[in-house]
Amino acid sequence: MNEDLSFRKLINGSECPEKLKYDFNNNGELRHIDTNEPFVFNYQNSYDSNHKRYQVLGHLITQYVYELLEKACKLQRIYIPTNAPASDVSSFFFMSESALTSCSTLVVLLQDRGIFRAGQWGQTTIVHEGLQHGSQVPFISMALHCSWEVIVLNPNENSIALKIEEECLSLSEMATTSTLQLPRAIPKRDSSSPEEHATYIWDHFISKSMAGNVAFIAHGYGGLVFINLLMQRTLEVMNKVYAVAFIDSTHHTMHQTQGNSQMQEWIWKHCREWVSNGKPLDKSLGCLVKVDCPTVSTGTEKYNLAPSSSLQSIFKYLKNALKVKTKTCFIRSPIGTRSKRIRKM
């Protein structure tokens, strides 16, 4: 891992209300630098102080994961919209250097909804379970190890908060302006929602990539976002996406597809869902859950550990689906040969 990557450097360089004495160890676990104990939320007898401290920690973890994506995984940060002036409030996502030009398989990571940003399955999971479980780095590393390309969406980066203090307003402004009417956030253009963010990146990047085989890995609300993308760009998605791995997805096929039998058939054929369940990993759950595609167990009942628990199984599925597609394409497109008539003399 890059020598410049240090969580301690971020903490020491930040304006923390107090210095957080935590760092990630070699196993990616967050530990106190003096006691080696896990993070403790109830540090002071004040919920507000603890909450503020936790918010600072969360912000630093976000910045650290961004550094991991760029320096350790060698991904590029891409700002959107592509034609936005420098003064605009922009969103961004990450992708490997050859994601658009390589003909290799392209894997797209789509996270759940929450305060966490690109590269994270869950921020609380990172704090309590470590980077191996809460970040997307193991998934990215696995994809790159397979010589595949990667795009990491950032669906929760939707707006920028405005901090307007009452003392900044004149008496006349306060008399005529209700603080409840003041805008609290500015939505980011073309990324004001997870759905809009995913659709924009599909239109301007994924659909234009040279990759003939695209796979999605979608967690929680990310599954609903993918089905929405499928509805918005049906033929494009069906032609370019060969496999989708849902993890505890919140999508609802019948409702979102409005009873479209062709779309439902595509979902059954090209998607598989891993659901939090105590049964052994990959055990079929068929009748126990909603059935719109083959459904298997993650091997754990803990929602926050579902992605990391399913990692190996998901990539096995993606590889097998790719083999099936390649074989099918080969059978459908045989190489023409000239036949020779043999005459009997």
296-310 pLDDT tens trace: 999 999 999 999 999
The closest alpha carbon to 107, from 325, 334, 296, 315, belongs to 315
- Cβ partners under 8 Å of residue 267, min gap 6: 227, 230, 244, 253, 257, 292, 293
Tally the residues of the chain.
345
pLDDT(195) > 90: yes
Cα 226 to Cα 217: distance, rounded to the nearest angstrom: 9
Residue 231: the pLDDT is 94
Across 13-22, 23-32, 47-56, 249-258, least confident range:
13-22
CA atoms within 13 A on the CB side of 270: 24
Task: Check residue 305 and report its DSSP letter.
Answer: G
- Cβ partners under 8 Å of residue 309, min gap 6: 281, 298, 299, 300
CATH for 76-329 is: 3.40.50
3-state secondary structure of 152: strand
Cα 241 to Cα 108: distance, rounded to the nearest angstrom: 10
The encoded tokens of residue 76 equal: 């590029």
3-state secondary structure of 303: helix
Kindly list the domain boundaries of the chain, sorted by start residue. 1-72, 76-329
Sign of CA dihedral 160, 161, 166, 172: positive
Asked if 187 contacts 143 with a C-beta cutoff of 8 angstroms, the reply is: no
135: β partners: 120
Residues 95-132 have pLDDT tens digits of 999 999 999 999 999 999 999 999 999 999 999 999 99
Region class of 189: left (phi > 0), else alpha (psi between -120 and 50), else beta: beta
pLDDT(337) > 80: no
In this prediction, residue 342 has a pLDDT band, given cuts at 50, 70 and 90, of very low
Question: Which residue blocks in 216-272 are alpha helix, DSSP H?
Answer: 221-232, 234-240, 253-256, 261-270
Angle at 233 between CA 258 and CA 97, to 5 degrees: 140
Asked if 265 contacts 236 with a C-beta cutoff of 8 angstroms, the reply is: no
Q: What is the mean pLDDT of the chain?
A: 86
Residue 175: the pLDDT is 37
Residues 124-149 have pLDDT tens digits of 999 999 999 999 999 999 999 999 99
Stretch 44-60: mean pLDDT? 84
244: β partners: 216, 271
Could you tell me the pTM of the whole model?
Answer: 0.87
Question: Which residue blocks in 166-205 are alpha helix, DSSP H?
Answer: 171-176, 194-204
pLDDT(270) > 90: yes
Q: How far is CA 11 from the centre of its chain?
A: 25
Q: How far is CA 34 from the centre of its chain?
A: 33
Task: Check residue 259 and report its DSSP letter.
Answer: T
